[in-house]
Chain A
Amino acid sequence: MSNPLHQIMDALDVETFIVCDNELQGRNIMLNMLKNWGFSDVDIVFAQHVGPGTRIRGRAYAYRPADKYAWLLREAAKVDQP
């Protein structure tokens, strides 16, 4: 089976609540988590620390504009199939 990540049009967002002391900790945990999952182009879209932890949305870009998108190239491959 082809890599399912290749079917993501542009970016994968991960939203969760991280139990931590402050926003910076939450940000670092999210970034490390995304990197541990194998993503390299990662960022924090939103983070807000209140009381018990950080509500956070991390983003991993599967593709940026002008990359070669596997979800498109597989369409070309389909055309080539007999």
Chain B
Amino acid sequence: MKKSVVLAPLDPVHDIGLKMIARGLTQAGHEIFLLPPDLTSDEIIETIFSKEKVDVLLLSRTLGYGVGEILARFIDVSDAAGLRNNTKIGIGGMAIRPELAAELGFDAGFGPGTTIEEVICFVEGREYHPDPFRSKKEKIDMTASYDYQYRHTGIGEKLAKISDMILDWVKDKTSPGVKRAKLRDELWDVDRWRRREGNGELYNQYPEMCSEVPQKYYTTGELHPKTRRFTVEEVRGLEHYLEETKRRMSVLKLQHTRKKPLVFNQYGTGCPFMDVGHILASEAWGADGVVHFDPSWGARTEGFLDGFLTHQEDGTVITPANLNRIHGALEKSTLWQVRAHRGLNTPETVVLAGKIGADLTKINICYGSLGAGTDPERMTIDGYHSILFAKKYNMPFDVVTNEELAGVPAHKAFAGMLIVSDLAVRLGARPILQPLFAYSPEVMIHEYMEDNYIDFNAAKIYALRQIINAPIWPGAPIGFLTHTEDRVQSATTTALHACLAMSLEVDAISIASTDEAYSGGPISVPAKIDTLRAVQDSLRFFGQASIKPTPQADKYAEQITERIEKVLEQVIKTGDFVSAIHNGVLGSREEGAYPGRIGKDTVTTI
């Protein structure tokens, strides 16, 4: 129904917001009277009474000084004049907060960030629901449009030879990790477990395949010293909290007019309940996906614990119950990655995550061997089976290159990433390349970023695209080693790296919180929101515009590509992939890469 609306600025000059709202209301079919600035309260009220009927008065106030007194006086005068008998009064503007408006007796208060639609709803007496086009999100398969064809035939041919070597090496080998994964795959029925009908026959054999901590748990009920079970009261609290929060939950989109990149952040406070709180906040502020981080001791342990457990330190313990609760709390549109890349539970993590419903996982044999402490033989056989399980459970996975942070040059880390990716494609899986956007030791030593942080990071993407048509997801997080403890600096560097990623049209990014460089305690929720907000505004700033690297990026890309090919030649020359890792071909001790020892001598011949 058509409404009669008077709009009046309570400022000497500012009325831009009211003009925009007047236009919106006119387009919506309402009758509009826009008064000039600098009228007194009495003049505004007189104007209203001079008209036959005014349904709504919309006031605005931009200047902050004296706002409380001015608005209170206006309400007093309008009450005395009987204005409010027939007219609703709303107030908006930069100086307005909804709580102030309510306190003073206005019918509505519209602060900064109010949409025109919101005001129209107030005028029409309708409940406001945020624009579904801004908040509607769907899960996206970032691998869907890639065929993994090699554009660089020389590198493609070399990778094929190396995959042959690996396939030949793994064919008669197994490990405790592979055996546990196969057991979980065959005997654990997630639907039955969700119906509280137990674990079937899994735990008849499982405990004896585990190392000390899980074995103790299954035989005596003893937990890891830093963990405890949740109480019944806590569980009921979580369920009610989720029920209430989900009812009012909405999610932002960070991307403006582009579709890419998807934005991920990580969680892993130690406590799955705190994680749920962090995840809900991340989703609400626009994260497209979240990444599960488990404790570092999880990578050195054979087997998983069970139960609903909270952990006092970094990393949330992987148990079926913990993963299931987290999965149940996620928004339907949220991509969920459970990383499996680096330890003795790698293949079983993929199986468990796959059964519970993860969308993505993370596997890299080279990083797991050289940067994460796992024995190269063990990591190779476990990695191979992890890839097979990732395929079975329909989970694309990123191949992370974090060994760069130890000092391994990008071209060596990339050679390792491409080896694992080629193997994965050969096995029918869908790998995602994960180069770092980082101020890495290699970059510092060679001064590749002396002028800017753009060219060398861009060169990585150029190089990978010259080699293969595959999805790319820089991480993790982007801007590694450029963050400081300064919140503003940290959010800025994340946002700028996000804009570089956007300009390069990569498929996804993982971002840090502004607590990235702070090591004194757990990451806080506001620190996560800081970077999500910074990224959203930066993507809005650029729209379809871009960051343009200098010609130096092409030179770096050429250099990286040439060096990758040479590394692959050396791997072939070594004759054996595992030996190549031990010999430093994919990252040497001098470069900070040490072949891991966890799980040494546990690989057996079938």
Give B280's nearest chain A residue, CB to CB: A9
A79 contacts the other chain (Cβ, under 8 Å)?
yes
Kindly state the separation between the CA atoms of A69 and B520 in the bound complex, as whole angstroms: 20
Instruction: Say whether A64 contacts B312, CB under 8 Å.
Output: yes
Residues of A near B227 (CB, < 8 A) are 66
A23 contacts the other chain (Cβ, under 8 Å)?
no
Question: Using a Cβ–Cβ cut-off of 8 Å, how many residues does chain A contribute to the interface with B?
Answer: 29
CB distance from A44 to the nearest CB of B (A): 8
Kindly state the separation between the CA atoms of A11 and B234 in the bound complex, as whole angstroms: 20
A24 contacts the other chain (Cβ, under 8 Å)?
no
Residue among A10, A65, A78 with the highest chain B CB neighbour number at 10 A: A65
Residues of A near B231 (CB, < 8 A) are 68
Instruction: Say whether A9 contacts B521, CB under 8 Å.
Output: no
| Residue in B240, B522, B524 whose beta carbon sits within 8 Å of that of A76 in the complex | B240
B590 contacts the other chain (Cβ, under 8 Å)?
no
Instruction: Say whether A72 contacts B522, CB under 8 Å.
Output: no
Residues of A near B237 (CB, < 8 A) are 69, 72-77
A59 contacts the other chain (Cβ, under 8 Å)?
yes
Instruction: Say whether A66 contacts B312, CB under 8 Å.
Output: yes
Interface of chain B residues 300 through 320 with chain A (CB within 8 A): 310-313
Instruction: Say whether B234 contacts A72, CB under 8 Å.
Output: yes
Kindly state the separation between the CA atoms of A65 and B367 in the bound complex, as whole angstroms: 29
Residues of B near A71 (CB, < 8 A) are 241
CB distance from A22 to the nearest CB of B (A): 18
A6 contacts the other chain (Cβ, under 8 Å)?
no
CB distance from A18 to the nearest CB of B (A): 15
Residues of B near A61 (CB, < 8 A) are 521-522
Kindly state the separation between the CA atoms of A64 and B141 in the bound complex, as whole angstroms: 35
Kindly state the separation between the CA atoms of A59 and B515 in the bound complex, as whole angstroms: 11
A50 contacts the other chain (Cβ, under 8 Å)?
no
Instruction: Say whether A66 contacts B518, CB under 8 Å.
Output: no
CB distance from B592 to the nearest CB of A (A): 28
Residues of B near A43 (CB, < 8 A) are 520-521
Kindly state the separation between the CA atoms of A46 and B234 in the bound complex, as whole angstroms: 33
CB distance from A63 to the nearest CB of B (A): 7
Give A15's nearest chain B residue, CB to CB: B487
Instruction: Say whether B515 contacts A65, CB under 8 Å.
Output: no
A13 contacts the other chain (Cβ, under 8 Å)?
yes
Residues of A near B526 (CB, < 8 A) are 11, 13
Instruction: Say whether B311 contacts A65, CB under 8 Å.
Output: yes
Task: Given A43-B520, A75-B237, A79-B240, verify A66-B228 contact (CB < 8 Å).
Answer: yes
Task: Given A72-B273, A73-B233, A78-B240, verify A65-B313 contact (CB < 8 Å).
Answer: yes
Kindly state the separation between the CA atoms of A11 and B506 in the bound complex, as whole angstroms: 34
B263-283 contact mask (Cβ, 8 Å, vs A): 1 or 0: 000000111011001100100
Instruction: Say whether A11 contacts B271, CB under 8 Å.
Output: no
Task: Given A10-B274, A13-B526, A75-B241, verify A65-B310 contact (CB < 8 Å).
Answer: yes
Residues of B near A78 (CB, < 8 A) are 240
CB distance from A28 to the nearest CB of B (A): 16
Give B231's nearest chain A residue, CB to CB: A68
Task: Given A65-B269, A69-B274, verify A75-B525 contact (CB < 8 Å).
Answer: no
Residues of B near A41 (CB, < 8 A) are 521
Residues of B near A46 (CB, < 8 A) are 484-487, 518
Instruction: Say whether A65 contacts B274, CB under 8 Å.
Output: yes
B195 contacts the other chain (Cβ, under 8 Å)?
no
Instruction: Say whether B524 contacts A10, CB under 8 Å.
Output: yes
B127 contacts the other chain (Cβ, under 8 Å)?
no
Residues of A near B520 (CB, < 8 A) are 43-45, 59
A25 contacts the other chain (Cβ, under 8 Å)?
no
B236 contacts the other chain (Cβ, under 8 Å)?
yes
Give B524's nearest chain A residue, CB to CB: A11
Residues of B near A75 (CB, < 8 A) are 236-241, 244
CB distance from B299 to the nearest CB of A (A): 19
Instruction: Say whether B522 contacts A65, CB under 8 Å.
Output: yes
Give A67's nearest chain B residue, CB to CB: B271
Give B273's nearest chain A residue, CB to CB: A72
Interface of chain A residues 5 through 59 with chain B (CB within 8 A): 9-11, 13, 15, 41, 43-46, 48, 57, 59
CB distance from A50 to the nearest CB of B (A): 12
| Residue in A44, A48, A64, A76 whose beta carbon sits within 8 Å of that of B486 in the complex | A48
Chain A residues in the interface with B (C-beta under 8 A): 9-11, 13, 15, 41, 43-46, 48, 57, 59, 61, 63-66, 68-69, 71-79
Chain B residues in the interface with A (C-beta under 8 A): 226-228, 231, 233-234, 236-241, 244, 269-271, 273-274, 277-278, 281, 310-313, 484-487, 515, 518, 520-522, 524-526
Q: Mind listing 18 A-B residue pairs with CB under 8 Å?
A: A9-B274, A9-B277, A9-B281, A10-B524, A45-B515, A46-B485, A46-B487, A57-B487, A65-B270, A65-B274, A66-B227, A66-B228, A66-B310, A66-B312, A69-B274, A72-B238, A76-B234, A79-B240
